[in-house]
Chain A
Amino acid sequence: MDTDIGALTVVFTEFYYWITVALMFLIHVGFCMYEVGASRQKNHLHTLLKNTMLIPLVTITWFFFGWWIYWAFAGGPGITGGIGHPDPSFAEASVPWSEGMGPRLDDRITGVFWAAFLLFAWTAASIVSGAVIERIRKFAFWMIAILIGSVTWSIDAAWGWSYGGWMVEILGYHDAYASGVIHAIAGGCALGVLVVLGPRLGKFAPDGTPRDIAPHNAWLVCIGLFMIYTGFWGFYVACNVPVATTDFIAGEMTGVTQTATTIYLTPTTLGAITMNFLMSLAGGLMIGYMVSKGDAFWTYSGGLAGVITASAGNDLYHPIQALIIGGIGTAIAYKMHFWVERRFKVDDAVGAVAVHGYAGFWGLVIAGFVLWGHPSSPYEGFATISPWGQFIGAIIMFWVLGFIPGWILAKILHGAGQLRIPREVELLGLDFGNMREAERARQEVLSTEQAAL
């Protein structure tokens, strides 16, 4: 801040991340709209609050330990380095009692960077929320939200979504806009929970044939998904470092120039990711419309699946590649959703495992082939991008950090009788008591008004 250009760079970066945070709020507006739209009328308030309250709970736990995990676990620990690898000062500054966590005039970036990461954490938790509607207890979901939002996503980001992550160094893992580190892990976690939670009553016929529990308001669902697209702009932009010199990157690059970079500090441009976001969205929408034969919900979901599939490499793809990859991922996600539903009797109420989990998983794998040999990092000694590195990375995201922790926590909650709502409440509807109280109050007011005539 001691030169005009230095001050401008800092203030621009601060404002840049702040804008992304404001935009990413729209992801949550969208998730709430589409979950409520997908639920039946008797479960609206519960569905809305279940999602909304993950916001404060993930926020405070992100402050307590999620942020620290990100800075502490990049090396494993014990794989490429100990706690705080490669620069322990970041981890030390990220414990909740650190002076680095409070307002200070010599650091304008930590707060907005913390918030951008937190909004990713909300997104990961919110993805799980949609899959489990209409039968999970709030307490259970909020425990799961804290697990994925403030623990497992933070670990995966440290491992595979940081400039010093061991997965980047050893596997050449590349996931610039979070196909795996947000979407595959959240889809995997949702699947792990769903396996224990079980389907909604009536979802499957006695012979195992799945029944359609249609959204009560398809319009609200689709506009919710449109809102998520909008918030996704903030998500994409937040994945970049807006301005970096080669001195700041301090890698193998030379030259007196500046660039935007990915989280790995590899150069890209906002222009590149903007074109690729739109082209992968287009590919997803077109194929979503085609494979679902014009179903509105799956067309919109297809748009999202398209972006998610291409996200791993959207810093580098040609727009035509982003278009095709988005389309391929959407077709895979759609087909896998219905296959898993029929084969394993998994009731994923909003297709979250498919749109986020399967699309994210295959997006990572595809990136391994399309970006084969590209340097994953500006630093010497890091592996290049490869199909095997991406495949192992996809397994780690979906299964190791997604499915397994979700399944274990769901089992614990189930064992304690705290996972699923009572059968009678599920039949009556989670809002039954509230609706009765509201009706009783309405009748009282009407009676009073009639008496006043």
Chain B
Amino acid sequence: MSTTPLDNWAVDLGDVTLIYPFVGQEKLMVIVAVVLWIAWHIWQVKFENNTYKEDIEKHATSENLRKATSGEL
């Protein structure tokens, strides 16, 4: 019993092709990876927008903006 196509090395090496686990589940793995990829972007864009919003609320005072544009910060 093995997750890979091999459960021992008593083989003719010239006949061995695939060596990764769960052969036959490639489409499922791709679906999982694509979902993770898209979910990451959804999280990231929300995170980035919230960061800008918080930065403006916390730090964009007229005093900070004056200092930033006069080179004091």
Contacts and interface: CB of A to CB of B under 8 A. Distances in A.
A436 B26 contact: no
Interface in A87-122: 96-99, 101-106
B64 A428 contact: yes
Interface in B13-59: 13-14, 16-20, 23, 26-27, 29-30, 33-34, 37, 41, 44-45, 48, 51-52, 54-56, 58-59
A139 B37 contact: no
A106 B17 CA distance: 5
A4 interface: no
A390 B48 CA distance: 42
Interface size class of B (residues with CB under 8 A): 20 to 34
Contacts of A422: 52, 56
Contacts, number: 88
Among B14, B19, B55, B59, which residue has the most Cβ atoms of chain A within 10 A? B55
Given A96-B30, A139-B41, A424-B60, A42 B18 contact: no
A427 B55 contact: no
Given A105-B13, A433-B51, 17 more contacts: A96-B33, A97-B26, A97-B27, A99-B17, A102-B20, A103-B19, A103-B20, A105-B17, A137-B48, A139-B48, A142-B44, A422-B56, A425-B52, A425-B60, A428-B59, A432-B59, A432-B73
Interface of A: 1-2, 42, 60-61, 63-64, 96-99, 101-106, 137-139, 142, 418, 421-422, 424-425, 427-429, 432-433, 436
8 contacts: A60-B33, A60-B37, A63-B33, A424-B65, A432-B55, A432-B73, A433-B55, A433-B58
Interface of B: 13-14, 16-20, 23, 26-27, 29-30, 33-34, 37, 41, 44-45, 48, 51-52, 54-56, 58-60, 64-65, 68-69, 73
